Amino acid sequence: MSPADRRMLIEALTLPCWIWIGFRLLGVPRTQALVRRWALGGKAGATTPTDPQLEIRSARRAQRIVQRNTGISGNCLVRSLTLWTMLQRRALPTDLRVGFRKRDGRIEGHAWLEHEGAPINESLAEARSYVPYDQPATFDLWRQMDRRTPNP
């Protein structure tokens, strides 16, 4: 296993735990802001991968190995934010999507990741069974907006 594959495996093991804890202690917006900051710190001098599909497959493979051997995975939001963070760290932009559907009288929510408009951690049929928000999910957008608005 290459050093890059080992790093990805370590991220796939630790990120879901930190994200899950962050959701409970800090909330979703602050947790996403923290993992974004960490992920973008790994891009210093990084360029977009020459083969994005290879990076995506490697990150998903690391998640599957961790889940199969440890049981650590989290819910769909934790899994998607973990993958989003891993790929952001490698200068590969993806969109975190959140959608809803009504099934058996209940409203269900789901999160998945898209690259160039195609789901990467969910089947196309499953993703299409949800009505996604028009824009990719940015839970900490309110913090970015506060920085741009001058205080009176």
Q: Per-residue confidence at 120, pLDDT binned at 50, 70, 90?
A: very high
What's the token pair of residue 3? 């050093």
Closest to 62 (Cα-Cα) out of 20, 112, 114, 121? 121
Question: Given this model, what pLDDT does residue 141 score?
Answer: 55
State the burial class of residue 2 (Cβ atoms within 10 Å of its Cβ: 0-12, 13-18, 19+).
Answer: exposed
Whole-number average pLDDT of the chain: 86
Q: How many structural domains comprise the chain?
A: 1
pTM attached to this predicted model = 0.83
DSSP-assigned letter for residue 138:
-
Query: The tokens 């602050």 sit on which residue?
Result: 30
pLDDT one-digit tens code per residue, 44-93? 556 677 889 999 999 999 999 999 999 888 899 999 999 999 999 999 98
Query: The tokens 């049929």 sit on which residue?
Result: 125
Measure the CA–CA gap between 1 and 24, rounded to whole angstroms: 34
* 118 three-state secondary structure: strand
- For residue 116, the enclosing domain spans 3-148
